[in-house]
Structure 1
Amino acid sequence: MRNSSFLLSASISARFSVLLVAGLLALGIATHAQAEGAGTAESGTLRTFEQASERALGSVFEFIEPVTERGIEGVFAFLDAQQWVFILLALAIGYPLGRLKFGPISLGSTASTLLVAVVISMTAQIAFNMTYAIPGIVATIFLSLFMYALGLGVGPKFFAGLKSGGLAAIVCGVIIWALNWVICVGGAHLVGLESGFAAGLISGSYTITAVLGVAESAVQSGSATVPPGMTADEIGANMAAGYAVSYILSSVGIILLMRYLPAMFGHDPAADAKKAEDAFAGSGTHPLPGTPHAFLLGYMPFDIRAYKVENENLVGKSVNELFEAHPQAPILRVERDGQVIDALNNPTIRKGDIVTVRADVHDMILHGNEVGPEVDDPVARDITIESADIAVSSSEIAGKTIEELARTSLAYGLRLIAIFRAGQEIPIGPQTDIRVGDVVRLTGPDSCIERAGKALGSRVITEQTLATTEVMYMAIAMVVGFIAGTLSVTIAGIPFALGTSAGCLLAGIIVAYLRSRNPQFGGPVSEGARSFLQDIGLNVFVAVLGANTGPKIISALGGDTVIWLALIGTIAALLPVVVAFFVADKFFKLNSVINAGACAGGRNSTPSLNAVLEQSKSQVAAVPFPVSYAITTVLALVGGYIAQILS
């Protein structure tokens, strides 16, 4: 009775609120119309506005009618009809829920969004017999965006990481797959589960839906015999039940496990991620081109100061003449009688001019008074210094040393920060030669940088350039990656394919890898845009996953079977990962964050990788992910096929 009264009052309150808002809206429209009509004395205007308000109110009531007429049930019906609202609601609740701490533990945005989506869809199924089904294309689109963005983040470090940890990543993947298969098949046999459950457990605990397909094909082709007293449809139902129960438990469990796995073994994921980044970057100390913080100036020993010229030795000489004599202290601006003269115009210095100099702070403190007294002139010092990456394309520049170029107009007003060759930072010295294909990082006034870009023969890439994202290149790269992922080879009746999500991941890796060698490649992609795609892509994917998986769990609940499915599926999802991490940690001495990334790939769990990325505050864990991901995808498909034959 209380529930009925609550629902009735809630429904009445909701309807009253809507009527109140609608009434105020109509009143506002009518009042506005009357004011307009008073000025023109045209009653037709008032009628027009009244008709418009009636249509607007009708649209409002039609849109929210399920809620106002059916109360709480109407809310769930509304979410069923408006699937995008369901996704947004799961995100809106999941994100703050993921930040809540229960002691030292927090779910994180991905696990919490998945849980919220599952709870909403299960409630709709249990309470109102509503089955949510969001089209799979939505999940495919957002997962592809996530994987491509992830590839962009990890690309420059990927191949360096393969050299140092590729074998360990493969071993992690094989260990996880082998233990998972033994636990699922052996556990199903020990507790007496019927045919089909083992394959479903493998598919769910490994979160690879394709395993159901190959196991089903084993039954349909006759490779797996149907036990007496059972039908092929019953085996398929068992597969679906094993998959549904183990899938949701393993999906949430592996995210939580991977979030804290390095810390469980006594490692600091953030510190280890920094060590891995330094190791993969080689001997360089500056971020590679096309990576986050590439243009962060940070601490620099150079400063801009203004002096009033009183030294007679400087009077009568041009700016270029002074640069040739003192290249370490270029004049960037000349101010004369309140007028600013650009140094690129090569003016002749006069006594009393205010000159702006950019040089080492130490040198200016010791020798600045040789020019004249330092002045506090905001106009003279109002020069924006920016950082830029420029690829060397000019054959006239190639082959010359830094020492040779230092006194030319190319170097005027600029400081050389780093040189990158074949994706690696190289040591800088006076005799370091410049080659075609090198990427030089310069700092200085924008006018000087633009001039250097023309001399080097390439487009200048700055932080401002990256303020926009080139969608065309992203779309082309994702198309190529998606198509590559759909290509499959069938061996012994088992289809093998890279997978569309892995294809988009590799496309992102390749684009980022090539951009580290030439920052012009692939168009500009801001780090903010890349990070947003990575974040929203994965969490929309898991929201759709939760909506579609929740109702399937309901059908599998009942009897002792569901308990065994939950127990075996959870153990198979988590225990192999712990064992693989232990082996790589103790025997391979693998960096804990790289180890966790390899284990996430070995478990074929993209959401768990995101948990590692969040905890380590770095993208480096994604380096070994594709290696173990690819090998275990193939092994899991083969294992599912064999498991069904043996059952």
Structure 2
Amino acid sequence: MGIVRDHPELALFLSLAAGYLLGKLRVGPITLGGICGTLIVSLLLGTQHVSVGDDVRSVFFALFIFSLGYMAGPQFFANLNRRSLRFFVLCLVELVCVLGIAFGLAKFFDLDVGTASGILAGAATESAVVGTATEAIGKLDGLTASQIEQYQGHVATAYTVCYLFGLITIVIYTSQIMPMLLRINLADASREWWQRMRGNQGGLEAGQREAMPDVVGRTFLVTRADGRTVGSVQEALSGRVTVEAVQRGAKRLTPDPGLRLTLSDLVMVVGLRPDTIEAGREIGPETAAVPGLDTPLATQQVAVTDKATVGHSIDSLVARHPEFRKDGVYITDVVRGDQDIPAAPETEVRRGDILTLVGARAGLDRVVAKLGAVVKNDATDFIYLGFGIVAGSLLGQIVVKFGDVPLSLGTGGGCLVAGLVFGWLRSLRPTFGAYPPQAATTLKDMGLAVFIACTGLASGPQAWPLIKEYGALLPVAGIAMVLVPATVSLLIGNRLLKIEKPLLIGAIAGQQCSTPAITAITQVARSSVPLIGYTITYTLSNFLLPLTGPLLVGVLGA
């Protein structure tokens, strides 16, 4: 251990490597995850009095929390509308319950501010609360340096124990018990919902794609369409398919709407699979692929920025913009944040969504101009990133007093708010402030992992005494603080808000910010349908829950 104490960078990266390895271990549907594994390993190494400088922890936490806010920003502001209000209620239930239970436990059992904050962070399975609470404790008046260090250590230890039990509880409760309480088979209910949205096409299991893609091209031999124009054939098919190529003998013709087809012409059409099959009734028998007739389709990703587009379903969007059917452009995928959303006709498009469009190049360009801006894999704009973190850090220094209670966002809360605003501004005008999703995800994950490792190393000496002092209280608190808000949300969401049951189960996992839970849910559902509810509450809770750390510390510290 001597070499590790002398070289803290070894301890740091050993915590990351061994922690993520530990996090891969699976027991049934449960995996600890890399963050919890890192904290366990770093706490063990920390018992040998290995530590890393506090500045390292602060820098990486700022990177993590700003990146988290930046990625969530477009969807957070998009969700502040009447339609998402019922999902917002679930996040408020989570907020009130965890704060109330944590405060009640602190008063009833006379817990110190660090232990109470750690219970809140762990039971809510929200790692960001560890950072915001730890920072807030460091700013409390009247505490000595040793007390601050002790209480900050208690945050990490209580978080670890409560997280383990909270994680197991939320995964089992949402994926196994909630479907029984709602009296549904989650897989059947998800498939039925998907069929309603997709016009009776079957749903997909998580990680699957269609063996037969939605958008296809087929070639037909002209018999029935002899003497008709290309435009009249497309009109007869309600504009649902487009004629992309016509071959007459050895000559390839431009498929203008006025072009008159003759017997034995070869026609290639593109459209959704059911519509292209129907095209044979208007044109003639289908033929095998003809060399030289095939027309490559372009794929383009567009970020939705147009105000008139936001809030419309995909079906409504296609109806509002005739260019879709006229030019043969189709929406095949929707990405919201870092989640894939089913591109169903009823899927509502929101600002910042990334739509994958497939069609001819000229048609794509016209549609993109209507919806937003082409997504480019630009290099990270470090000017924008740097000023964003500076703005967040300055915002976090503002202290507001409510009576005798001093409240401030701290660097964590300030950077979270700045990230939300800067990410939202980028979505409004994606010509500046590039922060590619892969880069943002990497810095977010790396920032949190390093912060957690530093916290665990510093907290190691306080871990065992705290566990011995409180015994069964920490596991019981972790379980209770999951069951209470989840059960209340289940009742309110089902009976009062009338949220569709598969979406409700996903939304409850989202209000808990639990990625392992939604993973288990989608495995049971054999569908990505619950993700639709999850993305809304996950985005909102990712902003609201980190702010509970400074709030609880401020109230208890006073």
1:404-446: CA deviation from partner (whole Å, max 9, x where unpaired): 975xx8854314659x9xxxx99999xxxxxxx9999864222
**Partner of residue 98, structure 1:** 23
Q: Which of 73, 76, 100 is equivalent to 2:2?
A: 73
Q: Distance in 2 between matches of 1:593 and 1:632?
A: 23
**What secondary structure, in the 3-state scheme, does the structure 1 residue paired with 2:279 have?**
helix
**Partner of residue 564, structure 1:** 469
Q: Which of 121, 129, 139 is equivalent to 2:60?
A: 139
**Partner of residue 632, structure 1:** 548
Shift of 1:99: 1.8
Q: Assess, with a 3 A threshold, how the Cα gap between structure 1 residues 211 and 508 changes in structure 2: closer, same or farther.
A: closer
Identity %: 17
Q: Distance in 1 between matches of 2:241 and 2:88?
A: 48
**What secondary structure, in the 3-state scheme, does the structure 2 residue paired with 1:380 have?**
coil
**Partner of residue 501, structure 1:** 412
Shift of 1:537: 3.6
Q: Assess, with a 3 A threshold, how the Cα gap between structure 1 residues 341 and 142 changes in structure 2: closer, same or farther.
A: farther
TM-score for both structures, normalised by structure 2: 0.66
Structure 2 counterpart of 1:368, which letter? I
Matched, 1:553 2:466: no
Shift of 1:108: 1.8
Spell out the pairing of 1:284-433 with structure 2 (5 A cutoff). Answer: 303-307=216-220, 313-314=226-227, 327-335=239-247, 343=255, 354-359=266-271, 360-369=275-284, 374-386=287-299, 389=302, 406=322, 412-415=326-329
Q: Distance in 1 between matches of 2:353 and 2:101?
A: 47
Q: Distance in 1 between matches of 2:216 and 2:30?
A: 46
Q: Distance in 2 between matches of 1:202 and 1:258?
A: 18
**Partner of residue 102, structure 2:** 180
Q: Assess, with a 3 A threshold, how the Cα gap between structure 1 residues 267 and 428 changes in structure 2: closer, same or farther.
A: closer
Q: Assess, with a 3 A threshold, how the Cα gap between structure 1 residues 563 and 329 changes in structure 2: closer, same or farther.
A: closer
Q: Distance in 2 between matches of 1:540 and 1:438?
A: 30
1:262-315: CA deviation from partner (whole Å, max 9, x where unpaired): 52371269x989999x99x9x9879xxxxxx9xx99966653123456789549
Equivalent pair of 1:453/1:459 in contact (CA under 8 Å): yes
Q: Which runs of 5+ in 2 are unaligned?
A: 121-129, 200-205, 309-316, 335-341, 347-351, 498-503, 523-530
**Partner of residue 264, structure 1:** 173
Equivalent pair of 1:200/1:238 in contact (CA under 8 Å): no
Equivalent pair of 1:320/1:346 in contact (CA under 8 Å): yes
Matched, 1:543 2:448: no
Equivalent pair of 1:262/1:268 in contact (CA under 8 Å): no
Q: Which of 209, 232, 241 is equivalent to 2:150?
A: 241
**What secondary structure, in the 3-state scheme, does the structure 2 residue paired with 1:212 have?**
helix
**What secondary structure, in the 3-state scheme, does the structure 2 residue paired with 1:496 have?**
strand
**Partner of residue 198, structure 1:** 112
Spell out the pairing of 1:34-183 with structure 2 (5 A cutoff). Answer: 73-74=2-3, 76-77=4-5, 79-80=7-8, 83=9, 85-102=10-27, 105-123=30-48, 125=49, 130-133=50-53, 135-148=56-69, 151-152=72-73, 155=76, 158-160=79-81, 163-183=85-105
**Partner of residue 32, structure 1:** none
1:347-402: CA deviation from partner (whole Å, max 9, x where unpaired): 88788764422252232332332xx87353143124225365576699xxxxxx98
1:80-107: CA deviation from partner (whole Å, max 9, x where unpaired): 2xx2x54433232222321212455432
**Partner of residue 160, structure 2:** 251
Q: Assess, with a 3 A threshold, how the Cα gap between structure 1 residues 144 and 496 changes in structure 2: closer, same or farther.
A: same
Equivalent pair of 1:183/1:568 in contact (CA under 8 Å): no
Q: Assess, with a 3 A threshold, how the Cα gap between structure 1 residues 352 and 475 changes in structure 2: closer, same or farther.
A: farther
Shift of 1:144: 2.1
Shift of 1:527: 5.3
**What secondary structure, in the 3-state scheme, does the structure 1 residue paired with 2:293 have?**
helix
Counting matched residue pairs gives 485
Shift of 1:633: 3.7
1:107-165: CA deviation from partner (whole Å, max 9, x where unpaired): 22221111122222324x2xxxx544352233323422552355158537632586114
Q: Assess, with a 3 A threshold, how the Cα gap between structure 1 residues 259 and 488 changes in structure 2: closer, same or farther.
A: farther
Structure 2 counterpart of 1:365, which letter? G
**What secondary structure, in the 3-state scheme, does the structure 2 residue paired with 1:625 have?**
helix
Shift of 1:244: 1.9
**What secondary structure, in the 3-state scheme, does the structure 1 residue paired with 2:34 have?**
helix
Structure 1 counterpart of 2:2, which letter? E
**What secondary structure, in the 3-state scheme, does the structure 1 residue paired with 2:17 have?**
helix
Q: Distance in 2 between matches of 1:335 and 1:321?
A: 18
Structure 2 counterpart of 1:622, which letter? Y
Equivalent pair of 2:69/2:416 in contact (CA under 8 Å): yes
Q: Assess, with a 3 A threshold, how the Cα gap between structure 1 residues 362 and 105 changes in structure 2: closer, same or farther.
A: closer
Q: Assess, with a 3 A threshold, how the Cα gap between structure 1 residues 358 and 548 changes in structure 2: closer, same or farther.
A: same
Higher mean C-alpha displacement, 87-96 vs 521-530: 521-530
Q: Assess, with a 3 A threshold, how the Cα gap between structure 1 residues 103 and 593 changes in structure 2: closer, same or farther.
A: closer
Q: Distance in 2 between matches of 1:274 and 1:515?
A: 39
Q: Assess, with a 3 A threshold, how the Cα gap between structure 1 residues 641 and 166 changes in structure 2: closer, same or farther.
A: same
**What secondary structure, in the 3-state scheme, does the structure 2 residue paired with 1:306 have?**
strand
Q: Distance in 2 between matches of 1:91 and 1:238?
A: 28
1:219-241: CA deviation from partner (whole Å, max 9, x where unpaired): 3xxxxxxxxxxxx75xx645543
Q: Assess, with a 3 A threshold, how the Cα gap between structure 1 residues 567 and 363 changes in structure 2: closer, same or farther.
A: closer
Shift of 1:542: 1.6
**Partner of residue 5, structure 1:** none
Shift of 1:573: 5.5
Shift of 1:631: 6.5
Q: Distance in 2 between matches of 1:170 and 1:405?
A: 38
**What secondary structure, in the 3-state scheme, does the structure 2 residue paired with 1:637 have?**
helix
**Partner of residue 26, structure 1:** none
**Partner of residue 194, structure 1:** none
Shift of 1:186: 3.5
TM-score for both structures, normalised by structure 1: 0.59
